[in-house]
Amino acid sequence: MTSPIQMLSWFLLGALAAFLGMSVWIDSTVALIAIPSLSWTIPLVLALALLASAWQVRAMAKGATSSVTPLTAARIAILCQACSRAGMLLAGIGLGAWLAASDNHAIFLDQQAAHSLWMGLASAALGGAGRLGEWWCSIDDDEEEPPGAPAGA
């Protein structure tokens, strides 16, 4: 499971890289790449789909009838782990770009700063959904094995 320290590290790495990169890019004479105004939709839709899938795994783990196989449950758990880390990295990139572009007075940069902020917040929601999905997909290892069972079974 992804630890909060790992999530914070990915966030800070993305924020630092985006802030420095955007600051240098804005000061150069190279034209900026426009961030789409709906860039927040994909991380948010992915977060909702991830939560729906992880909820099915949680129901299966609690004994409810589910169409999720153990292999599919393992794949969903791995997807949750990847989304928690990638979501926090993208959140850092979005918020770092917002910080770099928000102190300028150009209308284009103000719009790009707003798009970066929304994308960063949606990516943070993806990171949080991935972490919650990881928790839902985890299995308690504290249960004791029945006597006579081979070790590691």
User: What average pLDDT does range 76-104 have in this prediction?
Assistant: 93
Question: What is the residue extent of each domain of the chain?
Answer: 4-28+40-137
Q: Using CA atoms, how far apart are residues 46 and 129, in angstroms rounded to an integer?
A: 9
H/E run at residue 111 = helix 107-137
Average pLDDT, rounded, for the chain: 88
> Are 113 and 98 within 8 A, CB to CB?
yes
**What's the pLDDT score for residue 61?**
85
User: What average pLDDT does range 76-84 have in this prediction?
Assistant: 96
| pLDDT value at 105 more than 80 | no
**What's the pLDDT score for residue 64?**
81
**What's the pLDDT score for residue 28?**
87
**What's the pLDDT score for residue 21?**
93
| pLDDT value at 110 more than 90 | no
User: What average pLDDT does range 79-98 have in this prediction?
Assistant: 96
> Are 100 and 24 within 8 A, CB to CB?
no
**What's the pLDDT score for residue 76?**
95
| pLDDT value at 144 more than 90 | no
> Are 2 and 81 within 8 A, CB to CB?
yes
User: What average pLDDT does range 11-20 have in this prediction?
Assistant: 96
Q: Which of 98, 128, 118, 112 is nearest to 10 (CA)?
A: 128
Q: How confident is the model at residue 147 (pLDDT cuts 50, 70, 90)?
A: low
**What's the pLDDT score for residue 103?**
78
Q: What is the pTM of this model?
A: 0.84
Cα-trace Rg, the chain: 20
Task: For residue 5, give every residue at least 6 positions away whose Cβ sits within 8 Å of its Cβ, in sequence order, or none.
Answer: none
Q: Using CA atoms, how far apart are residues 26 and 145, in angstroms rounded to an integer?
A: 60
> Are 126 and 43 within 8 A, CB to CB?
yes
Task: For residue 36, give every residue at least 6 positions away whose Cβ sits within 8 Å of its Cβ, in sequence order, or none.
Answer: 115
Three-class SS of residue 85? helix
